[in-house]
Amino acid sequence: MPLKDKYHLRIPGPTPVPPQVQRAMTQPVIGHRSRLASQLIQECSERLKPIFGTRQQPLIVAGSGTSALEAAVVNTLSPGDEAVVVVTGAFGDRFAKIVETYGIGLHRLDIPWGKACEPEQLADFLKKHPGAKSVFLTYCETSTGVLNPVAELARTVRQHSDALVIVDGVSCVGAVPCQMDDWGVDIMVTGSQKALMLPPGLAFLAVSERAWQVIAGNRQPRFYLNLEAYRRKLEQEDTTPFTAAVSLLYGLKESLSLLEEEGFENVCSRHERLKNITRAGIRASGLTLMADDRHASPTVTSIDASQEKWDVEAFRKKLQSHGFYVAGGQQHLKGKIFRIGHMGYCDEWDILTVLAAVEVTLSQMGQSVEPGMATKAAQEVMMDV
């Protein structure tokens, strides 16, 4: 049995919160309209720019990542408009559902789950739907562990359409390269509880000038998610139009300091190594990886257990009894896969530990496991410096 209150959170969000960030959030609550709060909001927005790869001022919303996805839809489109949504998993499907909810003409480009969208597929689809005003993409598809080639896909949209390029980067921004200005992305969205190492409760959006022009002309009613109100308040008063989550902002300031101290290139390199270590260990254990090497996410790895003789959910429950939390599958993948998160406050030793736990748990479930095969393969990657 694990020690009381000691466990290993290896799901793709929420992710572990560093002790420094936890301490920062225990500071006394301040008034959300105070000068201190305005300084905090302005500083955090400015320091988010290199995370997004933008010269624009990122907006901070008190809400989940889904609130920012909805904001991206409701601010750029009106009922009767057409939009293309690339669906490579559960979160692309969520984007599609938001679009449908607002009466927008939805064109779904469905890609088999576990595969990435290739630029040629998107180009062909755009030719069939020239009226689309926005194209919605998912950078990291959390449900499958696939990292879509967003830079190439955005370029493809620009070549074949005048549509806005809107990207869900919730489960990877802050851990992978993101150059939204150079890539031609019009809106990039992320959330606090993933690579930014915070509890849930904040969402962030960066918006291009081209998108602001579209938003200004869009008559779709919106209130709490009115991005023009967020931009106006930030530019004129260094604040938000509604109550800011000030304690989370203190944590955000500290998490940005941690990323800056490590250096963002080093952050991205660390996540690449975590991916490689995880995949090497999983392969050596005899399990099947869901995503191919070319499109595997640096932040979450999916393991396909659909052909195994053991029960995935029983495996996860047994693993949890040892203090290890991994994620299951979503929608039609429920009971068929499990997912290991390795983003944010995570290092190589965390992955080595969870791989050892996977081996032990499989053995306890009656599977033939040679002890140390997964950890040996992982260690070999770790020693290859």
- pLDDT band (50, 70, 90) for residue 188: very high
343, pLDDT greater than 90: yes
Share of the chain above pLDDT 70, in %: 100
Q: Are 193 and 299 in contact (CB under 8 A)?
A: no
- pLDDT band (50, 70, 90) for residue 3: confident
Of 144, 75, 154, 136, whose CA–CA distance to 336 is shortest?
A: 144
**Which stretches of the chain are assigned E, i.e. beta strand?**
8-9, 59-62, 82-87, 105-110, 132-138, 140-141, 146-147, 164-168, 187-191, 202-207, 288-289, 300-304, 324-325, 327-328, 337-341
In tens, the pLDDT along 364-380 reads: 999 989 999 999 999 99
Q: How far apart are CA 42 and CA 59, in angstroms?
A: 10
What pLDDT, on the 0 to 100 scale, is given for residue 230?
A: 98
What pLDDT, on the 0 to 100 scale, is given for residue 298?
A: 98
What value does the mean pLDDT take over residues 187-191? Answer: 98
Q: Name the token pair of 379.
A: 């260690």
Helix 246-262 with 35-52: angle, nearest 10 deg:
40
- Under DSSP, the state recorded for 364 is H
Of 257, 172, 197, whose CA–CA distance to 14 is shortest?
A: 197
What pLDDT, on the 0 to 100 scale, is given for residue 294?
A: 96
Per the annotation, where are the binding residues? 339
- pLDDT band (50, 70, 90) for residue 22: very high
What pLDDT, on the 0 to 100 scale, is given for residue 74?
A: 98
What value does the mean pLDDT take over residues 167-191? Answer: 98
Q: Are 176 and 59 in contact (CB under 8 A)?
A: no
At 381, which amino acid appears? V
Q: Who contacts 343 (Cβ-Cβ below 8 Å, separation ≥6)? A: 12, 13, 15, 171, 172, 174, 175, 194, 195, 271, 274, 298, 299, 300
Of 315, 324, 328, whose CA–CA distance to 361 is shortest?
A: 315
Q: Name the token pair of 328.
A: 């299951």
384, pLDDT greater than 90: no
1, pLDDT greater than 80: no
What value does the mean pLDDT take over residues 337-343? Answer: 98
What pLDDT, on the 0 to 100 scale, is given for residue 346?
A: 98
- pLDDT band (50, 70, 90) for residue 339: very high
What pLDDT, on the 0 to 100 scale, is given for residue 4?
A: 86
Share of the chain above pLDDT 90, in %: 98
What pLDDT, on the 0 to 100 scale, is given for residue 159?
A: 97
What value does the mean pLDDT take over residues 75-82? Answer: 97
In a 13 Å sphere around the CA of 19, the CA atoms on its Cβ side amount to: 0
At 80, which amino acid appears? G
In tens, the pLDDT along 276-314 reads: 999 999 999 999 999 999 999 999 999 999 999 999 999
385, pLDDT greater than 90: no
Strand, coil or helix: 95:
helix
What pLDDT, on the 0 to 100 scale, is given for residue 57?
A: 98
- pLDDT band (50, 70, 90) for residue 5: confident
- pLDDT band (50, 70, 90) for residue 213: very high
Cβ neighbour number for residue 217 with a 10 Å cutoff = 9
What pLDDT, on the 0 to 100 scale, is given for residue 165?
A: 98
Q: How far apart are CA 150 and CA 139, in angstroms?
A: 6
What pLDDT, on the 0 to 100 scale, is given for residue 144?
A: 98
Average pLDDT of the residues of the chain: 97
What pLDDT, on the 0 to 100 scale, is given for residue 289?
A: 98
In tens, the pLDDT along 315-327 reads: 999 999 999 999 9
What value does the mean pLDDT take over residues 216-238? Answer: 97
| CA 213 vs CA 75, 204, 227, 256: distances in Å | 11, 19, 12, 30
Per the annotation, where are the binding residues for substrate? 339
Q: Who contacts 307 (Cβ-Cβ below 8 Å, separation ≥6)? A: 288
Q: How far apart are CA 245 and CA 369, in angstroms?
A: 47
